[in-house]
A and B are shown apart, each in its own frame.
Chain A
């Protein structure tokens, strides 16, 4: 279980420091001049309408897209390093051990032809686990944590509901004890009641594991419940950032005021 207790990062330094990150698609801006710090144990929400650049930003941070300018400095066990300057092999190793990425569509984050237990165990093997009994025991433990019955361990995800698939994707991502989790609309496409269960699960895991997370969503109700801090994006730029309830309750920027006042009340 040593993987479950990563080296604590000094609480007086950020886990991730992003500086002036810019990504262009030809002459069009994907995201521009984005800077922020993410601290250990913090959940940062990124909101904005589709096309605002929030998914581009997440992809650049997670290494799925190569930004044109800027720095993404991660507090590795060996000290702060600019991820963008790392060799590909080193960055991939970091992505496997310290990071996780939860896709909106679980099919993008799962191997649909492999059993539930295999999906979770594969990640452990990728970071060096070899003992079959241990791998299976940890996979079973994680299925339980995401509320999937142990007897479903040999079923393929294609036999699962959308909510179960999303929980399995979370188990697959968190089993290696990452320190930073990227999530792209993790509750999108789920029924409202399933969303609530997933939100509660994510909150519990963040609290128990001391995770830091960056969550991209267009759902302001989701960020209010999940995120400590909020960044609002429009046309590729951050127009406002701050404490989540401050940005939602007392928005300063015209666009944020419009976004918040456009939410339908139930």
Chain B
């Protein structure tokens, strides 16, 4: 690797976002103006700001399921704003991971396979992928008797831990974490924080939303206030 540590893994520049509600009279809601941030390899940056300020919106724009109105989002050397769908698909397979607040899976698929899937998609042999999945599930205290069951019937906290295991199965160079420690008990919260520390140590660039201030203080190197990107009533940047 010849990557310079000063080269950001994620670079958001002049990003803006509107929602147009066609079925409510074509109302245009400007929700973000002039968003700028960088995340370097090995660094965890925390998004802060009041509820509704656009933390999750910004994260979804980087993931590519929300479209930007203007600006750029470089993840590695791909601009997500301009990229073709298939380039974003490839980015998500190998480079960019995302732990959302919701686990969305095919019903009836065993938990072990749900967690192993990101590795299988990359061509990892089944035995190796399942071993990695088992290791993560064990660390996150999901009892082994549940591994052969679908997580759709699990409690909220268990589903969240399965989602985290899935998100950390492949060592993505860039990771988006939306409230990864919400509703976890102290022991599991500590496991998630150590997974984040390990990911940083191997050089992952992490962008996270943490409502839990203790967790935030332990893993984040710096913070970006999304409130500063909220448009004023007249639509100009704050």
Contact = CB atoms under 8 A, between A and B. Distances in A.
B66 A250 contact: yes
B109 to A, nearest CB: 5
A197 B110 CA distance: 11
Interface in B137-154: none
A252 interface: yes
A258 B67 contact: no
Contact of A197 (B64, B88, B104, B108): B108
11 contacts: A196-B108, A200-B108, A203-B106, A229-B85, A243-B64, A243-B85, A246-B64, A248-B65, A249-B60, A254-B22, A258-B23
B22 A200 contact: no
A184 interface: no
B203 to A, nearest CB: 27
The list of the 5 closest CB pairs from A to B, nearest first, reads: A254-B22, A196-B107, A245-B65, A249-B65, A243-B85
A257 B21 contact: yes
B20 A246 contact: no
A253 interface: yes
Interface in B42-63: 60
B67 A252 contact: yes
B187 interface: no
A242 B85 contact: yes
Contacts of A39: 86
Nearest to A40: B86
Interface residues of B, number: 22
Given A199-B106, A250-B65, 20 more contacts: A193-B107, A196-B106, A203-B106, A224-B104, A225-B104, A229-B85, A242-B67, A242-B85, A243-B65, A243-B88, A243-B89, A246-B67, A246-B85, A249-B60, A249-B65, A250-B66, A254-B22, A254-B23, A257-B22, A258-B23
A111 B67 CA distance: 46
A82 interface: no
Nearest to A245: B65
A193 B108 contact: yes
A54 B222 CA distance: 49
Contacts of B85: 228-229, 242-243, 246
Nearest to B19: A250
A249 B107 CA distance: 21
Contacts of B65: 243, 245-246, 248-250
B1 interface: no
Contacts of B67: 242, 246, 250, 252
Contact of A207 (B21, B64, B105, B120): B120
B119 to A, nearest CB: 11
Contact of A252 (B20, B108, B109): B20
Contacts of A193: 107-108
Interface string B6-48: 0000000000000111110000000000000000000000000
B233 interface: no
A231 B79 CA distance: 22
Contacts of B120: 207
A232 to B, nearest CB: 13
A75 B41 CA distance: 40
Contact of A225 (B20, B60, B106, B121): B106
Nearest to B61: A250
A83 B88 CA distance: 29
A42 B106 CA distance: 18
